[in-house]
Each structure stands twice: as C-alpha cells, then as structure tokens.
C-alpha cells in the first residue's frame, strides 16, 4: 500500500476507525452524507447503502474508497440506529430472547472496479427484563448504533452467543474487507 494513496473511509464511525487502526491500515476519513435505504431485504439494503456511501465519498477514480453499512434484522424487519430512547427501548425488547442477524454491506471502489459483499453474523440475546433494558438504556450506548446496542461495550451483557464474525457486529467485518481488498495490509 506504500505506493498508493491512503484508503478513504466513507464513515465517521469510531468503531470502524478503531478496527482499521488496530490492524495498521493507512486511511483517511471522509464521511459520506447520503439518504440511506431503510426498508427492503436486509442484505440488499446493507449492500446498496454501503455502495452509495463509497460512491458519494469518492472524488476521483484514483482514490480507493471503503463504504460500509451495518444493520440489524430479525424476521425480515430492519433495525437501524434508533431515533430516540423510546425507539431504542422498542428495539431492545424486540431483540430480547431472540436471534437476530447483523448484516454489513462492504463496498470498496478500486480504480474502475466496484467490489461489494455482505457479511452476516447471527447474534442471540438473553431474555431481557424491563429492568435490564432500562439499565442498558441509561448507559447511552444505544445512540448511533444499529440495533441499539454495542457488543464491544456494556451491550456484551445482552448477548448469549454469536455465530460469525465478531468484528461485523462491532461495525466492520474485517475478513470480508480483506477478501475484497487484500492490499489493505
């Protein structure tokens, strides 16, 4: 990657930045401001939003741009970032005692190529009492989080088990990204 300009991360997510920093990737942050799709088949929605973000952040074809969109779905219903505390409560109650899927669309624009994939991780939540939901809401981690929780924070106590890529649940499926863009490292 020394011969190339840094990767452009089309996201303001501190979790995505932290994952890239942890593996030593060279990147710059340029958040993309697009109107995200909120309804539809979850994997398709995540894919299209990621591609839209990457395209919106790209200034020229010499840039390599990474767009990512993460969402939570259960029974085909998408749970994005809750608008407020009441929406976060509703989301957590829907996820409690059930298994949901975290989908992340990953789009890497490299020269004329658009490399796109979707990662999916199954997450099973414990039964959540009203008291546990209120305890978690008070932590304020739900803000800006798909599915209203952060597995890498206090939200870990909500989770019984996961099947798949942990980093996907955090917000950037590193294995999928490396499949699409091995030059990252």
In angstroms, rounded to a whole number, what is the distance separating the alpha carbons of residues 21 and 118? 22
Largest CA distance in the chain: 54
How many DSSP H helices and E strands does the chain contain?
Answer: 6, 7
Burial code of 40-54, b = ≥16 C-beta within 10 A, e = fewer? eebbebbbbbbbbbb
Tokens linked to 109:
């624009």
Q: Taking the CB of residue 162, how many other CB atoms lie within 10 A of it? A: 16
Residue 82 CA, chain-centre distance (Å), reads 14
> Which residues are catalytically annotated?
69
Give the up-direction half-sphere exposure of residue 50: CA atoms within 13 A in the CB hemisphere.
29
């Amino acid at each position: 990657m020394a011969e190339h300009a840094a990767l452009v991360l089309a996201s303001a997510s501190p979790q995505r930045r932290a994952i890239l920093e942890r593996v030593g990737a060279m990147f710059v942050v340029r958040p993309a401001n697009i109107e995200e799709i909120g309804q539809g088949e979850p994997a398709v929605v995540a894919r299209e939003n990621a591609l839209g973000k990457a395209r919106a952040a790209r200034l020229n074809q010499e840039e390599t741009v990474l767009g990512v969109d993460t969402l939570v779905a259960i029974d085909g219903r998408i749970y994005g970032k809750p608008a407020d505390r009441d929406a976060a409560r509703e989301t957590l109650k829907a996820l409690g005692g059930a298994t949901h899927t975290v989908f992340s669309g990953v789009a890497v624009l490299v020269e004329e190529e658009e490399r796109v994939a979707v990662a999916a991780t199954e997450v099973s939540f414990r039964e959540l009492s009203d008291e546990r939901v209120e305890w978690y809401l008070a932590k304020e981690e739900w803000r800006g989080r798909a599915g209203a929780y952060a597995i890498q924070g206090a939200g870990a106590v909500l989770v019984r088990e996961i099947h798949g890529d942990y980093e996907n649940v955090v917000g950037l499926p590193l294995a999928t990204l490396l499949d699409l863009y091995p030059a990252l490292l």
